[in-house]
A and B are shown apart, each in its own frame.
Chain A
Amino acid sequence: MEAVEVRDVYKFYKKYADRHKFLTIKSALVNKTLFGELQVSERFEALRGVSFEVKSGQTLGIIGENGSGKSTMLKILAGISKPTAGEVVTRGRISALIELGAGFHPEISGRENIFINGIILGLTRKQIQEKYDEIVRFAELEEFIDNPVKSYSSGMFMRLGFSIAINVNPEILLIDEVLAVGDASFVPKCLDKINEFRRHGKTIIFVSHDLATIERICDDVIWIKKGKIEMRGYPKRVTDAYLEYVGKKDEVKTLAQHGEEEKLSGREKEKRWGSREIEISNVRMFDGNDKEKYIFRADEPLAIQFDVDARAAEDDFVFGIGVYNGDGINCYGSNTLLENYAARRIQGKGRVRLMVPALGLVNGTYFLDVAVHKRDGYPFDYHHFQYTFRVTSSHRDVGIARIPHSWEFSDNIAFSKNENS
């Protein structure tokens, strides 16, 4: 059975043309447009015909860029705002974790706020009484529960809010990015609780930018793009497509930057130096399919290619590359000399290609150095920090390089691991 059905939902927001966001009676009287200005002058289309359904017991992830309409969708599902057109049917009690602790009163104690918040979320006093201990225990606030909420840290505040919302015991749980603000030790606990909900066959709709978590906990993922569903399907497939799209978008930017930098290089002498007896030009990067690209996944093959032009014949030359991360740390460097290529002859125009089967770097922006020089270091043409590329992937490892690895455990250590992560 479907726990949630969304049929052709549209949501438009008003955008006021004038710089004042709010009307005043004074201005309305002066302009003689008491209700005229309430008319929509321009509208922002947050959702444009979204339809989907979620089966009872399923966990659906919603991803998308900022402003794509994810949160609007969630607010409509929660019944907080109404769709401009279309229909939403939900079956079962809903608890929405959109902003934790909304409605907490800072002046009164955590204990009293639990009761107030619980009733706001639809529990009865008796139900709260029954769950009270569990709420406090889960929030780890036993010692502070009688202090006013204003004395709580933001982490404590969030823990209490999450604990109440989760103990409302909903059939449908809506989560909007709230885990992003939690303290490091509490987030895994929240995820455990969410997994427990899944095991109990509850329906969950999870909005997040954290693709790794989405892949781990969702049965199904929807990608919303500019108010429309771009794609729905198996988590890994959708997140990969999404990453690719985001990457492409960034790539356009990076490509544009790339061209800029080539133009700039003449002026910025300190970034390029050498006698130019051999000249490097047209430095480009390609993926495994020979498509020009500047955003790569860590496990993807790539090629660095540049044209060389030696005006006179030369028998002492070395080609080299260097990769630097955003902190300026040299992640890798090598050249033909170090790899025992003995130079014999170069003359006229040529092309050099460096093939990399897998980049093995962690997420981040990198700079590329390309150079040709003599064996003793005399530079013909040295391009320093002239080119950038990016590594994006759903891996979240850190460091300088992604060292190939696998984990092994003895039999008495048990893990449950999702194949996606």
Chain B
Amino acid sequence: MIEKLKEILRHRQLILILVSRELKARYRGTVLGFFWSLFNPLLLMLVYTVVFGFIIGGGRVAGFASTKLYALFLFNGILPWTWFSSSLLESSNVLMVQGALIKKIKFPIEVLPIMVVTTNMVHFLLGLPVLVAFFVIFGKGLTPWVLFLPVSLLAQYIFTMGLCFLISALTVHFRDIKDILANLLTLWFFATPIIYTYQSVPKALQYVLNLNPMTHIVESYHYSFYFGSLPHWKRFSVTILVGLLFFYLGYLLFDKLRDTYVEEV
């Protein structure tokens, strides 16, 4: 496994140029290119703020001092979620979309899901200044716990990467995973404390939420920005271990099926 990781690291220049290619291609031709990658999280934030803050809540959301704070909380969670869900969706067809690379060139195929997750991470990173700006504008301010961010980032990267290896490898053989995944992600979104706080959930349901690694990953972002304190380090440590396990298993499967891609995509 260490050997394989080194092998992947050797391709870093290729990964970098492919990521920049994806970014350039997406932002090319649209003046608002950067805005478009933020459009979806902003829209989600707006919709949920309006629905829960004004339509249902009538001006305030239970558990939040103001609708402004609720909007901040939402954006805090939606941003990493967008990174996660876009990565999964894109990795479900990346091997097919980039079929020419696989079929016609000797190409390190694992670079493709890595490219997907990394590209979406860059979108996420580009969204962070906007998040910070919201915190400043809404007068919430930030704490030094923001410095915990790289750890959250790493944990999410590893977990997402593992799932993306798994998904990209399996969709080559089962083409309907993409459709199943789209539905599953909607469910998963509501099973993660993004539009509600972890604390507001009844104890019994918290146990269920705990089984979801994304709960703890999104929570860790909440802690470093919104709450401004140390995340629940025990649960978070377990999440990192689970992430590593997923990464290991995902890569293992991806590597095992490697020789089938050329013929199946």
Contact = CB atoms under 8 A, between A and B. Distances in A.
B207 interface: no
A120 B14 contact: yes
Nearest to A103: B101
Contact of A107 (B17, B29, B98, B174): B29
B173 A23 contact: yes
Interface in B1-48: 13-14, 17-18, 21, 24-25, 28-29
Contact of B174 (A24, A94, A98): A24
Given A23-B174, A107-B28, A108-B28, A80 B104 contact: yes
Contacts of A125: 13
Nearest to B22: A105
A38 B176 CA distance: 16
Interface string B68-89: 0000000000000000000000
Interface stretch (A111-119, A247-255, A372-380): A111-119
A103 B14 contact: no
Interface string B152-172: 000000000000000000000
Nearest to B180: A25
A80 B262 contact: yes
A63 to B, nearest CB: 21
A80 B106 contact: yes
Interface string A364-378: 000000000000000
Overall SS of chain B's interface: helix
A345 interface: no
B18 A116 contact: yes
Interface residues of A, number: 33
A245 interface: no
B24 A99 contact: no
Interface in A43-76: 75
Contact of B106 (A22, A94, A99, A105): A94
Contacts of B177: 25
Contacts of A99: 100, 103-105
A14 interface: yes
Interface in A248-305: none
A103 B263 contact: no
A406 to B, nearest CB: 44
Given A99-B104, A103-B105, A107-B29, A112 B262 contact: no
B140 interface: no
Interface string A93-113: 010101100110101100010
Interface string B236-265: 000000000000000000000001001110
Nearest to B100: A102
A25 B178 CA distance: 11
A150 to B, nearest CB: 10
A36 to B, nearest CB: 13
B28 A119 contact: no
Given A24-B174, A38-B173, A80-B104, 17 more contacts: A14-B263, A23-B173, A25-B176, A25-B177, A75-B262, A80-B103, A80-B106, A80-B262, A81-B262, A81-B263, A96-B106, A99-B103, A99-B105, A102-B101, A102-B103, A103-B107, A120-B105
